[in-house]
Amino acid sequence: MDIINVIDKLEALVDTSRRVPTTRARLVDADKVMELVEQLRLVVPQDIRSAQEVIEKKDNILNQAQIDARRTRNEAEEEYSARVDQNEIVLAARKISEQTVSEAERKAGRMTEQAELEARTCRADADAYVAQTLRNLENELTRILSSVRKGLETLGATVHA
């Protein structure tokens, strides 16, 4: 279950609750409201865990890029060592080795930048989503609480009359 489903249930609870005559107030079951609030408390950490999984994937991509860069560099160094026998071959191997290392470092840098950008974007999106959901919940709960208070005031006025 996700946050939106719980909010939909909360909205349905309010929509199906009885109206207080001659007012916009509604009588809602406080136990059901509290049950939905508890569900929200359980669901929000799930969304945060999803964001953490994205961050872990980013870290795995970064680690793999570093491993690939090291492997490429080692391969280039081994190739360089194998060609040390002749001067022309040594020069060619050195050039190839440097190009390979340079390309591997550029590739690793691009992969790292891309992974970090995706992680920042995902983290920002997750934070924005959670913040907006909590604001929506706060607004809905404020509205429900206002309705409950109006209902209680109306009942209080009726009881004292």
The answer to the question of residue 19 being in a domain is yes
Question: From CA 115, how far away is CA 122, in angstroms rounded?
Answer: 10
Query: Residue 14 is part of which domain span?
Result: 3-152
Q: Which two tokens stand for residue 114?
A: 């891309």
What's the full length of the chain, in residues?
A: 161
pLDDT tens by residue, the chain, 161 residues: 688 888 899 999 999 999 988 888 989 999 999 999 888 888 877 767 777 888 899 989 999 999 999 999 998 888 777 766 666 776 778 889 999 999 999 998 999 999 889 889 988 988 899 989 999 999 989 999 999 999 999 888 776 66
Q: Is residue 24 part of a domain?
A: yes
Whether 157 is in a domain gets the answer no
Residue 160 counted as domain residue: no
Six-digit token string for 3: 């946050």
Count up the domains in the chain and report the number: 1
The answer to whether position 46 is within a domain reads yes
77 located within any domain: yes
Q: Please tell me whether the overall predicted TM-score, pTM, comes out greater than 0.75 for this model.
A: no
Domain contains 71: yes
Instruction: Give yes or no for a contact between 25 and 19, defined as CB atoms under 8 angstroms apart.
Output: yes
DSSP 19: E
Kindly state the helix (H) or strand (E) to which residue 27 belongs, with its residue range.
strand 26-27
Would residue 145 count as lying in a domain? yes
